[in-house]
A and B are shown apart, each in its own frame.
Chain A
């Protein structure tokens, strides 16, 4: 039998972690309990994070938003500030799992799972998000891309939790875009996904661009060549097709059950072309 601890405050959490250093954390349980059922882990002690208020809620300041790691996907989707400031994240969340998975699963769980197919990762990569890591001893911050070390691996240290994600506001008028390719329209793991943040000048030329691809490498991939290539260019099909070639060169997909590497590589490039359609309109 597994013991389940449910701290309701940070001090309770720190003491639980001190007494049970081998305990496993979980929030929504939508990753952890699935793995437990599959026999991939059998923790003797679980600590449930769902009742610690300090991990929840969205707050805004002039710089941007702070998203509590304990926020469920549904809470973020229903949050007016997130919708207004981070449409690329909203779009990604709409494709994540299914309504009950979004109601149970958390942002923190998605990031700590560190799957290359995790849907909140590409948007947060293009937004250059930072993570707040807390422990009994204090707090540290890391760029999300430094936090994620590899498939299923993060920079979390023993006794540390992910407390929040900080995201700066994107420059006004930038286009935020997310697309995920799955084998069906809900409950679909991503075969390839693309998050984009593109700022254009009044003449329609690109001033700044950031792209991040999911499911085409061990972690989310950003491709500086593609971003540089677009600077000063219009978002036309031909320019984007050139960028697509660069993107296909840079990604490192593998074959798996859901798709082969060739498909992923091809489509990773193709997805850029969608910006020709959506790119001219400001954020949706």
Chain B
């Protein structure tokens, strides 16, 4: 496809050595600070058409027809397509194919698309979309979990409203309660959360002269997209090419089909012209995926000495109109429902339920974020009931390597929670915690809270978590990595450069990173699940090592030395150390055919060798064996007149294995904590009969620079033997801590804390007004 290309005219002044463990600047920072990076949204191919979807505008309805004539008659409108124009199955979905590209007859949520309009310009598109008239017969809807589960509830899908129901249990909960010295209970409600990435869903598509359908999309899963499109539209997946430039944020929300199938459908109808689709902010929120709303019911018991003994919990996830990854999100929530603790007897049940709400999907923290609120609130209540210190109780029960977790899986890999809690316990912010409430100004109350959290990595059993890395020596003696997993901002591409630079001993300017393109790279799964750097990085380690060995062998021929043991790769050259003779890499490259300059290696993440006799409902995804851990601490202040909550100080201690790049590590932690603070303080999708009342940034509130404090981030010194250079993925774990840590702090300040999030002023002012229970407040 034709493109205006804007290569940065400026070059980085100096190029650092890429060493593992050093805070080398990110490879993408340069182009991003000069505005030269071309995100998908910045592609404006010549002669493009604009595509837009007409949304249903009712949450549950029978679609009797769509009047498109008026729109089609508008000058400048090229086509108006409906379900009848969709070839293929007209079904998309990552695991369950239950979501139509264009609705045939059953509208299941407000943002369901009923028609696709193609126009010469955006203004015409806007007017044409308004002229499309769906003929809707309203149906009674289900708008919360309880309503969806009623026996007489209207059903959304042929199999009923329960997408998946499952149980994970260990030990014997029937008798375990009798010996408990303290039992605590609670029910918690959490709202839908929006990802709030700043680059909305978008892409361009075009059928090339050779018949290949090419898409440049803001996507987390370019390889899966090909199959998604092919299935929905009845195409050959291998005749589809997907390019995924750097993303302007995603956080899970661009995992799965957004614009892809609509764009592909559009491209098929316009005789080779390029088509562009950009969702505006409101459409992004109405039609995009969300963190699942959830209800958690907990019961936790402990022995006199504080040993956690029995857990019974039910986790309900509202997956909205379509499955997306609802079953898998529920799975991960359930697998983490017992927290990062040893609990001998557990019975954890979960439901993922269809409603006529927006679609629940993948989001950083993936079910665990919700469950963390439940188990950590339980730990605080248990500490209060037993008269124990909150941190101490967590340390006593923290999982260690070799333990069985609450899902019955033995932790054979690095397990650094105890080290996180230990580090936190010695930090001045913990040691001086009593001063904080004592120094509260008039009309304010203050508290300190803690939370221990964890998050699994990878797809889990049943779906091989594999990646195939590709690196090549270029003719000019540099190295090109064909990344196969998107960089949505988390910096995995930079980590790849660092891995290659370390192994091949090269400077930053010698490593060229190519963002995923299915025509160049090899299938490596999605950018998700804390697996991106781990899985692709591991494959890349192998590919780089193989390439290094090969290049040294080839160099030994050219340098006429007997064997490569005296040869070393150095920046831009191979040196024969005994003689000091250099062979420039460009010369070496010139000697080698292209096929010999490439190295391709695969890695598959280890899975549990012990499959517990539970969780049978999960065909894929259960169990996991690799986890990142963290201990968080929050200082809060609450205004007693307004109920306004301020997070004043924050500490996150993380076990992510070895830290490849300290600054990029802190970026992930601080960013995740900030997003978690938003989840705790103000982010909530407000719904009325399935309609989002706040589908914009004026009413759906992301934290600003004045709402997030400086966040101290510490890493504990663990090494994950299976990880590239000992690392584990830490993209997700950081978001699980803020809500429970802040809730813990609120309880310390007020003697109680709402069991509904977010912890908005309207909720807290009620707690302030209630009689003080500060005598029992945790210390």
Contact B682 A184 (CB under 8 A): yes
Q: Identify B761's interface contact among A98, A257, A263, CB under 8 A.
A: A263
**Beta-carbon contact of B706 and A181 below 8 Å:** no
Residue of A nearest to B442 (CB): A277
Secondary structure at the A interface, as helix, strand, loop or mixed, is: loop
Q: Which residues of B contact A258 (CB under 8 A)?
A: 699
B431 CB-CB contact with A under 8 Å: no
- Residues of chain A contacted by B765 (CB below 8 angstroms): 263, 266-267, 270
Docked CA distance A274–B644 (Å): 14
Within 8 A of A (CB), among B661-705: 681-682, 686, 693-694, 698-699, 701, 703-705
Cβ B762 vs Cβ A271 within 8 A:
no
Judge if A225 is at the interface, Cβ distance under 8 Å.
Answer: no
Query: What separation, in Å, do the CA atoms of A260 and B701 have in the docked complex?
Result: 17
User: Shortest distance in angstroms between A235's beta carbon and chain B's nearest beta carbon?
Assistant: 13
Task: Tell me if A259 counts as interface (CB < 8 A to partner B).
Answer: yes
CB-CB nearest in chain A for B768? A270
B641:A273 contact, CB within 8 angstroms: yes
Q: Assess the B762–A181 pair: CB atoms within 8 A.
A: no
Residues of B within 8 A of A185 (CB): 704, 706-707
A259: chain B residues at CB < 8 Å are 761-762
Taken residue by residue from 229 to 266, chain A's Cβ proximity to chain B (1 for < 8 Å, 0 otherwise) reads as 00000000000000000000000000001111001001
CB-CB < 8 A to B698: which residues of A?
Answer: 189
Q: How many A-B residue pairs have CB under 8 A?
A: 59
Partner of B682, one of A183, A192, A267, A271: A183
Beta-carbon contact of B641 and A267 below 8 Å: yes
A257-B641 contact given A189-B698, A267-B765, CB 8 Å threshold: no
CB distance from A165 to the nearest CB of B (A): 26
The distance in angstroms between the C-alpha atoms of A266 and B762, with both chains bound, is 10
Decide if B15 is an interface residue (CB 8 Å cutoff): no
State A270–B699 Cα separation when bound (angstroms).
25
CB contact between A183 and one of B705, B706, B761, B769 (< 8 Å): that residue: B761
Contacts of B703 in A (CB 8 A): 184
* Number of chain A residues close to chain B: CB under 8 A: 24
Closest chain-A Cβ to B686's Cβ sits at a distance in Å of: 6
**Distance in Å from the Cβ of A47 to the closest Cβ of chain B?**
22
Residue tally, chain B, CB below 8 Å to A:
24
Say whether, besides A181-B642, A274-B443, A186 and B701 are in contact (CB < 8 Å): no
Instruction: Check: B133 CB closer than 8 A to any chain A CB.
Output: no
List residues 180-217 of chain A with CB under 8 A from any CB of chain B: 181, 183-189, 191-192
In the bound complex, do residue B443 and residue A184 qualify as a contact, i.e. CB atoms below 8 Å apart? no
A257-B693 in contact given A263-B765, A267-B642 (Cβ < 8 Å): yes
* Chain A residues positioned under 8 Å from B120 (CB to CB): none
> Shortest distance in angstroms between A34's beta carbon and chain B's nearest beta carbon?
8
Q: Does B760 contact A (CB under 8 A)?
A: yes
Contact in complex: B701, A183 (CB < 8 Å)? yes
Query: Residues of A contacting B442 with CB < 8 Å?
Result: 276-277
B516 to chain A, nearest CB (A): 34
Interface centre among A185, A189, A192 (most CB of B within 10 A): A185
> Given A263-B765, A271-B642, are A184 and B694 neighbors across the interface (CB < 8 Å)?
no
Identify 16 new A-B residue pairs, CB closer than 8 A, beyond the known A267-B642, A267-B643.
Answer: A98-B704, A181-B642, A181-B761, A183-B701, A183-B760, A184-B681, A184-B707, A185-B707, A186-B705, A191-B761, A257-B694, A260-B762, A263-B643, A267-B761, A274-B641, A277-B443
Q: List 12 A-B contacts (CB under 8 A).
A: A181-B644, A184-B703, A184-B704, A186-B707, A187-B701, A257-B699, A263-B643, A263-B761, A266-B765, A267-B761, A270-B641, A271-B641
Q: Across the A-B interface, give the 3 residue pairs with the lowest CB-CB distance, nearest first.
A: A185-B706, A270-B641, A186-B704
